[in-house]
Amino acid sequence: MSLGILCSGQGGQGSGMLDLLRREPAAQAVLDRAAGVMGRDPRALVAGPEAEMQRNAVAQPLLCAVQTAIWAALRLHLPPVRAVAGYSLGELSAYHVAGALDVDELLRLAVRRADAMDRADTEPGGLLAVRGLDKARVEAVCRDCGADIAIENGADRFVVGGRKTVLAVVEAAALALGAAVTPLPVTVASHTRLMAPAAAEFSPILAASGLQAPPLPVLAGIDGTPVYTRERAVAALTRQMTETVAWAACLDGLIEMGCTVLLETGPGNALARMAAERHPGLPVRAVADFRSLSGAAAWVERQLG
Give the residue numbers spanning the domain of 70.
Answer: 3-120+192-304
Do 115 and 132 sit in the same domain of this protein? Answer: no
Distance CA 40, CA 20 (A): 21
- Does the pTM surpass 0.85? The reply is yes
pLDDT number for residue 12: 84
Do 107 and 44 sit in the same domain of this protein? Answer: yes
* Nearest-5° Cα angle at 46, 41 to 47: 95
Do 9 and 110 sit in the same domain of this protein? Answer: yes
Do 21 and 40 sit in the same domain of this protein? Answer: yes
Helix axes 164-176, 135-145, angle to 10 degrees: 140
Secondary structure (DSSP) of 180-225: EEEE-S-SS-TTSGGGHHHHHHHHHHHHTSS----SS-EE-TTT--
Do 167 and 197 sit in the same domain of this protein? Answer: no
Q: What is the number of structural domains in the chain?
A: 2
Q: Which helix (H) or strand (E) holds 263?
A: strand 261-264
> pLDDT tens across 283-302, in order?
999 999 999 999 999 999 99
CATH number for position 8: 3.40.366.10
Whether 27 and 72 have beta carbons less than 8 Å apart is answered as: yes
Nearest-CA neighbor of 50 among 16, 3, 89?
A: 16
Do 85 and 152 sit in the same domain of this protein? Answer: no
Distance CA 237, CA 252 (A): 19
**Sites in the chain below the pLDDT cut of 50:** none
Distance CA 21, CA 186 (A): 25
Do 166 and 68 sit in the same domain of this protein? Answer: no
Distance CA 160, CA 167 (A): 8
Domain end among 133, 154, 183: 183
Whether 120 and 196 have beta carbons less than 8 Å apart is answered as: yes
Helix ranges (DSSP H) in the chain = 25-38, 42-47, 50-54, 56-74, 90-97, 103-120, 135-145, 164-176, 196-207, 230-239, 247-256, 270-278, 293-304
Whether 42 and 111 have beta carbons less than 8 Å apart is answered as: no
pLDDT number for residue 75: 95
pLDDT number for residue 237: 98
CB neighbours of 272 closer than 8 A, spacing ≥ 6?
6, 262, 263, 264, 284, 285, 286, 289
Secondary structure (DSSP) of 224-240: --EE-SHHHHHHHHHHT
At residue 218, φ and ψ (nearest 5 deg) are -110, 130
Helix (H, G, I), strand (E, B) or coil at 178: coil
Do 199 and 294 sit in the same domain of this protein? Answer: yes
pLDDT number for residue 13: 86
pLDDT number for residue 1: 86
Do 44 and 108 sit in the same domain of this protein? Answer: yes
DSSP 8-state code for residue 2:
-
Whether 153 and 88 have beta carbons less than 8 Å apart is answered as: no
Do 277 and 165 sit in the same domain of this protein? Answer: no
Q: Which helix (H) or strand (E) holds 153?
A: strand 148-154
CATH number for position 148: 3.30.70.250
Whether 215 and 189 have beta carbons less than 8 Å apart is answered as: no
Do 24 and 111 sit in the same domain of this protein? Answer: yes
> pLDDT tens across 215-270, in order?
999 999 999 999 999 999 999 999 999 999 999 999 999 999 999 999 999 999 99
Do 207 and 91 sit in the same domain of this protein? Answer: yes
Domain end among 183, 202, 233: 183
